[in-house]
Amino acid sequence: MIVLTILKVIGGILLLFLLLILLLLAVVLFVPIRYASDGYKGEELTDYRIVFRADWLMKILRFKAVYTDNGLELLLKLFWITLMKSPEEDEPQEGSEDLREEDLEETDSPEDEAREETEILRETESMEKTELRMEAVQSDISKIEPENLETCREGSDQADSVLEKAEETGSDEDQIAEDIEESSDDIEPDQEKEPDGTSEQSPEQAPDSKKSNNRHIIEKTLLEKIKEQFTAFLGRIKDVVKKINIIREQINDPENQKAVKLLVKNVRYLIKHYKFRVLKGHFAYGSDDPANVGQVMMYLSILHPVYGRNFQIEPVFDRPVMKGDMYFKGHIRLIHLLVSIVELLLNKKIRLVVANHFKGDNDG
């Protein structure tokens, strides 16, 4: 008997916890979140105010947002406990401003300015000297004949080879200098290459052959560029055709068509239950150009099924103006959202798309 009574007590406690969980779940799903908002916009750019309020379960949980020219203010409360509040702007401190002014005064002292000027002058003088040296070197190089340049290069190559050998053998500096002098004596400054019989050309034929070679090179490069662009263009066309075929196959797929119809059905279901219960207001728009006003009115008339008759729109044709006020309220039950999500996830295609999306996020 004692064991049975203990089991009864444990079962009753478990049943009580289960009932409490079901009660909390029912409260979360079926108790609506009520919201309301009002705002206005004056003729001035800074003359506006928007207030949004929301509460749940007899205002146990409350949220408020105010947007004005000064910025956005947020407030979230549970019973009397503040869960979230926008930080207030800190007032500037006098001590920090004094310190900044002292720092600026220290940086702007005359001694620092004189030092900066002297450094700038030194840099400009060094740059001018380097430019003069570069010009002198270039002028010396331009005066040297091409044949002498070749001999100098050969001499420098031989000197480098002598230095490498000396490093390997570990000879003295005097021996290195003697080797370099002997190698420089072997080089003749006016050494000329023996002319080949095949390379001899008349001075009249040389420019013509150069021009023909240049034309041939230019034509060849142009043809190569045209071929590359044409092949790239064909590759793009093939990619576009492949994408169009893939999209066409997805549209004609009956499973995809069922998924799209189901998605549209659930969107309509949510709009029906989550739309504004009350919407009223007034909006005035004007411009110096009557054609511009007519275009804006045309676009706003498309939204007439949304705002209905209680929202008035006034066109103004004699002056530029944009002002108005608006008020709306409604409520949201989470049970409608849960029903839509379950119905969508029962579809195989939608479930596959959602799984691939989350898989891509995890891989990234």
**H or E, element range at 361:** helix 348-363
Query: 280 forms bridges with which residues in the sheet?
Result: 327
Per-residue DSSP letters for 71-108? EEEEEEEETTEEEEEPPPPPPPPHHHHHHHHHHHHHHT
* 318-345: pLDDT as tens digits: 899 999 999 999 999 999 999 999 999 9
Q: Is the pLDDT of residue 91 over 50?
A: no
What is the SS3 assignment for 276-330? CCEEEEEEEEECCCHHHHHHHHHHHHHCHHHHCCCEEEEEECCCCEEEEEEEEEE
Band of the pLDDT at 221, cuts 50, 70, 90?
A: confident
pLDDT band at 193 (very low <50, low <70, confident <90, very high): very low
Decide the pairing of beta strands 81-85 and 71-78: antiparallel
Lowest mean pLDDT among 32-41, 47-56, 181-190: 181-190
Highest mean pLDDT among 88-92, 170-174, 195-199, 297-301: 297-301
Per-residue pLDDT tens over the stretch 13-24:
999 999 999 999
Residue from 37, 97, 99, 41 nearest 68 by CA: 41
Average pLDDT over residues 147-164: 55
Instruction: Output the average pLDDT for the chain.
Output: 79
Predicted local distance difference test score (pLDDT) of residue 197: 43
**The pLDDT value given to residue 32:** 95
Q: Which of 201-215, 267-281, 322-336, 338-352 has the lowest mean pLDDT?
A: 201-215
Does 31 score more than 90 pLDDT?
yes
Query: Where does the pLDDT of residue 140 fall: very low under 50, low under 70, confident under 90, or very high at 90 and above?
Result: low
d(CA 147, CA 192) in angstroms, rounded, equals 8
With a cut of 50, say whether residue 190 has pLDDT above it.
no
In degrees rounded to 5, what are phi and psi of residue 41? Answer: -140, 120
The answer to whether residue 216 scores a pLDDT higher than 80 is no
Strand partners, 33: 56, 332
**Is the pLDDT reported for residue 68 higher than 90?**
yes
- Integer CA distances (angstroms), 350 to 120, 217, 239, 245, in order: 69, 59, 27, 21
C-alpha–C-alpha distance, residues 353 and 347, integer Å: 10
